[in-house]
Chains A and B, each alone.
Chain A
Amino acid sequence: DADVTQTPRNRITKTGKRIMLECSQTKGHDRMYWYRQDPGLGLRLIYYSFDVKDINKGEISDGYSVSRQAQAKFSLSLESAIPNQTALYFCATSDHQTGGPNQPQHFGDGTRLSIL
């Protein structure tokens, strides 16, 4: 969906650097998510946010932090990047405010992050 925008699309950086990945959406959805995708491991949830005041850890939150600056913006930070954080990162949104409990998630185009 073009309504979920991730920046940057690609990033190469060095071990120890602080990195921020940004996600913005124009869908008006209340919930936002950050996933990591590695070959053979599917999509693993890093953090999720039900609204601006509600941030929750996913299954692999160690080494990551997030900020929900507004309903439309959810950023992911790597405070001190390490090589095993090299992966494809996806942001997603879902609408539970108007849609109810069981709703699909809509993904951005992803950020390919390489840490040397």
Chain B
Amino acid sequence: GENVEQHPSTLSVQEGDSAVIKCTYSDSASNYFPWYKQELGKRPQLIIDIRSNVGEKKDQRIAVTLNKTAKHFSLHITETQPEDSAVYFCAENAGGTSYGKLTFGQGTILTVHP
């Protein structure tokens, strides 16, 4: 079955630094990789996603990279701000008959210190 490993589980950075969170997956059929941000007490919200036909996608200070050969994808946040503090989840969708069904990583608690 699908499996997603997410690292690190916690990440602490100073404001203005970059943060990188990495996820590895096991199913070579995986073809969709969203990232969600969950602030304390709130719902998970999509911040960026990437499909398997591209290697990188950017949206202002956040970017996602995908290495299909190595089966890993990463979230990059540049110029971090205190409001970036949250739990971040990666996910993957294996496609095929189970397309639409996401498997989530365990989450990364990001703390940005002013």
Report Cα–Cα, A41/B51, bound state, in Å: 25
A interface footprint on B74-114 (CB within 8 Å = 1, 0 otherwise): 00000000000000010001010001111111110000000
Question: Which one of B1, B43, B46 lies within 8 Å of A90 (CB-CB)?
Answer: B43
User: Is B9 an interface residue, CB under 8 A from the partner?
Assistant: yes
Q: Do the beta carbons of A101 and B99 come within 8 Å of each other?
A: yes
Report Cα–Cα, A81/B35, bound state, in Å: 32
Report Cα–Cα, A41/B46, bound state, in Å: 19
Interface size class of B (residues with CB under 8 A): 20 to 34
- What is the minimal beta-carbon distance from B90 to any residue of chain A, in angstroms? 9
A contacts with B, residue count (CB < 8 A) = 27
User: Is B45 an interface residue, CB under 8 A from the partner?
Assistant: yes
Q: Do the beta carbons of B46 and A104 come within 8 Å of each other?
A: yes
Given known A41-B106, A102-B51, A104-B34, contact A90–B44 (CB-CB < 8 A): yes
User: Is A43 an interface residue, CB under 8 A from the partner?
Assistant: yes
Which residues on the A side are within 8 Å of B105 (C-beta)?
A: 42
| Between-chain CB contacts (< 8 Å), 26 pairs | A31-B100, A41-B106, A42-B6, A42-B106, A42-B107, A43-B89, A43-B104, A45-B102, A48-B100, A48-B101, A50-B100, A59-B1, A90-B43, A96-B100, A101-B31, A101-B32, A101-B95, A102-B31, A102-B32, A102-B49, A102-B93, A104-B34, A105-B46, A105-B102, A106-B46, A107-B44
- Chain B interface residues (CB < 8 Å from chain A): 1, 6, 9, 31-32, 34, 42-46, 49, 51, 89, 93, 95, 99-107
- Chain A interface residues (CB < 8 Å from chain B): 1, 31, 33, 40-45, 48, 50, 56, 58-59, 90, 94, 96, 101-110
